[in-house]
Structure 1
Amino acid sequence: MIKIRWEADMGKTNHLTKNHLLWIMITQIEHIVGQAFAHELRKIGLTREKWAVIHELVYLGGESTPYRLSKRFIYEPHSISALLSRMEREGFILKTKDLAKKNMVRVSLTDKSKELYPKGIEICQELFTDIMGDIPEGDGIGFMESVARLRDYALVSAAKRKNLTPFKYE
């Protein structure tokens, strides 16, 4: 296990700040957990992105719009559109025109996705319990609150730099 010796490490370089080191660790965690998660999902024929769409659609009652999904994922609308088109071709979702609003598309789950959902949830529970199971409950809640604040700060900063709409998880 790597121990962080913040004060000693800072003396070795003049460009590594606390925020830079934190960002490095966050990206390392995302890579490690993301690779493990992707590996497990491949066993049931899913990618992380496809799983995210299926999971969100279940959370949203089985149906949503591409726009709402792009807001929830913090993706550009064209990125979510391309993903949804691939998922429709592969039989994971169904896209239909909204009868009330002709220019709106509705996205819903297919039976294939509904059958995969419990398997995906099982993978999540096993993997994340294995990875984070030893973190005390209070520490985990505090960490989650800190990460949520960091996400919110990042969104505000990104909105200033790229004209993104600040995101609030509904």
Structure 2
Amino acid sequence: MIKIHWEDNMDKSSHLTKHHLLWIMITQIEHIVGQSFSQELRKIGLTREKWAVIHELVYLGGESTPYRLSKRFVYEPHSISALLSRMEREGFILKTKDLAKKNMVRVSLTDKSRELYPKAIKICQELFKDIMGDIPEEDGIGLLESISRLRDYSIVSAAKRKNLTPFKYE
């Protein structure tokens, strides 16, 4: 295991800051875990993005709107719309017009997604337990709290910079 000493790294390169090194580590972790996760999901015909939509729809009771999904994912509405259109063509979701509000679209799960959900959950549980299972419980809780704060700070900062809708996990 590599130990990071902030001060040693600061001496070697004047452009690196603690914040920069933290960002580098976060992107490395995302790449390592993301590649493994993507590889496992491909075995059952899913991408991480499609899995995220299915997971959120299950969490939301099987139905939502594109706007609510984009807010929960912190995606721009046009990005989630393109993903949802692909998922509808592939039979993962169904988009229907809301009868009460004609300009609103509802997104719901199909049987195909409902069948894949338990398989994907099993992949998540096994993979993440394998990758993060040795982290002591209190370290894991502290890490979760720190990452949650980082996410919240970054969303506020991004919202100030480019009209990103502030994210609030409901």
What corresponds to 1:63 in structure 2?
A: 63
What corresponds to 1:115 in structure 2?
A: 115
1:5 and 1:142 map into 2 onto residues whose CA distance is 20
> 1:10: Cα distance to partner?
1.3
Unaligned runs of 5+ in 2: none
What corresponds to 2:162 in structure 1?
A: 162
The normalised TM-score by structure 2 is 0.98
1:107 and 1:60 map into 2 onto residues whose CA distance is 11
Cα deviations by residue, 1:76-112 (Å, 9 ceiling, x for unpaired) = 0000000000000000000000000000000000000
> 1:164: Cα distance to partner?
1.3
What corresponds to 2:151 in structure 1?
A: 151
> 1:5: Cα distance to partner?
2.5
What corresponds to 1:95 in structure 2?
A: 95
1:109 and 1:76 map into 2 onto residues whose CA distance is 21
> 1:8: Cα distance to partner?
1.5
What corresponds to 1:75 in structure 2?
A: 75
2:160 and 2:168 map into 1 onto residues whose CA distance is 16
> 1:3: Cα distance to partner?
2.2
> 1:9: Cα distance to partner?
1.7
Unaligned runs of 5+ in 1: none
What corresponds to 2:24 in structure 1?
A: 24
2:159 and 2:105 map into 1 onto residues whose CA distance is 26
1:118 and 1:110 map into 2 onto residues whose CA distance is 14
Secondary structure of 2:45's match?
coil
1:7 and 1:102 map into 2 onto residues whose CA distance is 59
The normalised TM-score by structure 1 is 0.98
What corresponds to 2:36 in structure 1?
A: 36
2:5 and 2:146 map into 1 onto residues whose CA distance is 21
Cα deviations by residue, 1:98-150 (Å, 9 ceiling, x for unpaired) = 00000000000000000000000000000000000001111111100100000
More deviation, 9-18/68-77: 9-18
Secondary structure of 1:107's match?
strand
More deviation, 2-11/29-38: 2-11
Equivalent position amino acid for 2:13 in 1: T
Equivalent position amino acid for 1:26 in 2: I
CA RMSD of aligned residues (A): 0.6
- How many residues of Structure 1 are paired with residues of Structure 2 in the alignment? 170
Identity of aligned residues (%): 87
